[in-house]
């Protein structure tokens, strides 16, 4: 196993505390030798650790992550003209988001390198996940959050698990810069953001699960992009599954961002160099990010898979959230409704089998439904009054 710079191809050994390239400071990628690939297999059990033979570390700390449902959504599929539509519901993970797949691997590395503490900047879910796994591993957790912009459910998790919480006067991108600085100065603090290539290895297992469940790769996989670690990890997963000879073709990767927090979709659409966005804004606070650290990897995934990137508005996101919950019984947080919102606007030509990744549980962000048009009834405890509600 070795590390490779995603931009300049520089090679390094197995160095879990090396977060970026020493030459060009770009993100790194965990790579495996041909021999390691030949030895991979023996997939047993369920969830992330089923794939231990192509992960960079042995299992140390687990809460039962991965193995989430791949739900056929025939009613939504019919509405959207997609013959086989599935939702891979990552809200079913132990802390309610896909972050747990990476965190079980990242925390194992933290223990391996003898870190005293782990740290991350977060829009909420990473901090919730890291706090839980750190608690289980007996490590101190430090989370940097954009003040006032983290959904209540996620904040509650960080509090419950006993993380040290720093609310930053600034946005996620400011918090990200700061935590990288800290991890370079304080070597006993292990950085668990998705810039950590080892953590992303856990997240690639979603691709393996989808292929095993379908018996093939889907035609397209649609997911939200924020810091862009997940699209990079999942694309890597599909490629490795193909290299293992388990699938013959690769899916198109469709990455979706919120309209006012869309630096990657903008670079893609306008076919020009990537530029950060100063003041990203969206109701989907999970993906309120203007300077995604994995933008190079994400753009490569879009390009290599002949995929596409696009945007949706906050209104479309909230509508899609309610639509999915009411039509299929799947309640996801706003950021996770982004793929469905996109498919309601855009047809994917020739895509028969489509997988949407819903990244986090709806209960993460109870305030998101505050503007939902609901009529609740306060009634006297009589059958007559209750009948009126039923018939109304």
Q: Shortest distance, CB of residue 122 to ligand F0G, whole angstroms?
A: 3
The structure tokens 């896909």 sit at 98
Closer residue to ligand F0G (CB): 139 or 298: 298
Residues in the chain: 392
CA proximity to 380, closest of 389, 392, 368:
389
Q: Shortest distance, CB of residue 81 to ligand F0G, whole angstroms?
A: 25
CA proximity to 101, closest of 216, 289, 211, 233:
233
Closer residue to ligand F0G (CB): 199 or 252: 199
Q: Shortest distance, CB of residue 360 to ligand F0G, whole angstroms?
A: 3
In order of 31, 56, 58, 122, 275, the CA distances from 47 in angstroms are 21, 16, 14, 24, 37
Q: Residues interacting with ligand F0G, by CB under 6 A?
A: 97, 99, 122-126, 194, 224-230, 286-287, 333, 335-336, 359-360
Q: Shortest distance, CB of residue 249 to ligand F0G, whole angstroms?
A: 24
Quick one: residue 127, left, alpha or beta (phi over 0 = left, psi -120 to 50 = alpha)? alpha
Beta-carbon contacts of 312 under 8 Å, excluding residues fewer than 6 positions away, are: 256, 258, 259, 320, 338, 341, 342, 345
d(CA 384, CA 127): 49
Q: Shortest distance, CB of residue 70 to ligand F0G, whole angstroms?
A: 17
Task: Report yes or no: 244 and 40 within 8 Å, Cβ to Cβ.
Answer: yes
Q: Shortest distance, CB of residue 123 to ligand F0G, whole angstroms?
A: 4
Order of strands across the sheet that contains 164-168: 164-168, 140-146, 117-121, 189-191
Q: Are strands 140-146 and 117-121 parallel, antiparallel or unpaired?
A: parallel
Closer residue to ligand F0G (CB): 97 or 353: 97
Q: Shortest distance, CB of residue 74 to ligand F0G, whole angstroms?
A: 24
d(CA 388, CA 319): 28
d(CA 148, CA 173): 14
Closer residue to ligand F0G (CB): 74 or 319: 319
Closer residue to ligand F0G (CB): 126 or 196: 126
In order of 48, 134, 189, the CA distances from 61 in angstroms are 12, 9, 18
Closer residue to ligand F0G (CB): 236 or 383: 236
Closer residue to ligand F0G (CB): 118 or 386: 118
Q: Shortest distance, CB of residue 379 to ligand F0G, whole angstroms?
A: 37
Closer residue to ligand F0G (CB): 56 or 334: 334
Q: Are strands 353-358 and 84-89 parallel, antiparallel or unpaired?
A: parallel
d(CA 310, CA 99): 23
């Amino acid at each position: 196993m070795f590390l490779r710079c995603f931009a300049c191809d520089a090679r390094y050994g197995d160095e879990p505390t090396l977060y970026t390239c020493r030459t060009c400071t770009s993100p790194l990628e965990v790579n495996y030798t041909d021999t390691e690939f030949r030895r991979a297999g023996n997939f047993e059990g369920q969830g992330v650790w089923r794939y231990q033979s192509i992960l960079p570390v042995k299992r140390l700390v687990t809460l039962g992550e991965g193995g989430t449902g791949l739900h056929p959504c025939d009613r939504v599929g019919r509405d959207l003209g997609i013959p086989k539509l599935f939702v891979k519901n990552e809200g079913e993970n132990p802390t309610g988001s896909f972050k747990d797949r990476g965190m079980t691997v990242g925390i194992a590395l933290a223990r391996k390198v003898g870190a005293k503490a782990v740290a991350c900047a977060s829009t909420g879910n990473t901090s919730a996940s890291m706090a839980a796994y750190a608690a289980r591993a007996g490590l101190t957790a430090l989370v940097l959050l954009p003040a006032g912009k983290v959904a209540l459910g996620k904040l509650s998790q960080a509090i419950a698990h006993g993380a040290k919480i720093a609310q930053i006067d600034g946005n996620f991108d400011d918090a990200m810069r700061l935590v990288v600085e800290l991890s370079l100065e304080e070597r006993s603090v292990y950085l668990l953001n998705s810039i950590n290539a080892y953590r992303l290895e856990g997240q690639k297992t979603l691709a393996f699960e989808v292929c095993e469940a379908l018996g093939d790769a889907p035609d397209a996989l649609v997911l939200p992009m924020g810091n862009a670690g997940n699209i990079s990890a999942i694309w890597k997963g599909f490629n490795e599954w193909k290299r293992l000879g388990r699938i013959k073709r690769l899916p198109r990767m469709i990455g979706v961002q919120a309209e006012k927090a869309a630096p990657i979709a903008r670079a893609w659409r306008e076919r020009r160099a990537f530029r950060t966005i100063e003041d990203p804004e969206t109701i989907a606070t999970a993906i309120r990010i203007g300077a995604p650290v994995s933008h190079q990897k994400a753009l490569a995934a879009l390009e290599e898979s002949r995929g596409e990137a696009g945007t949706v508005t906050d209104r479309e996101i909230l509508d899609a959230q309610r639509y999915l919950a009411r039509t299929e019984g799947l309640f996801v947080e706003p950021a996770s409704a982004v793929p469905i919102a996109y498919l309601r606007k855009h047809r994917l030509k020739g895509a028969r089998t489509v997988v949407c990744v819903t990244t986090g549980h709806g209960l993460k962000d109870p305030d998101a439904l505050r503007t939902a048009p609901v009529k609740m009834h306060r009634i006297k405890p009589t059958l007559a009054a209750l009948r009126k509600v039923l018939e109304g």
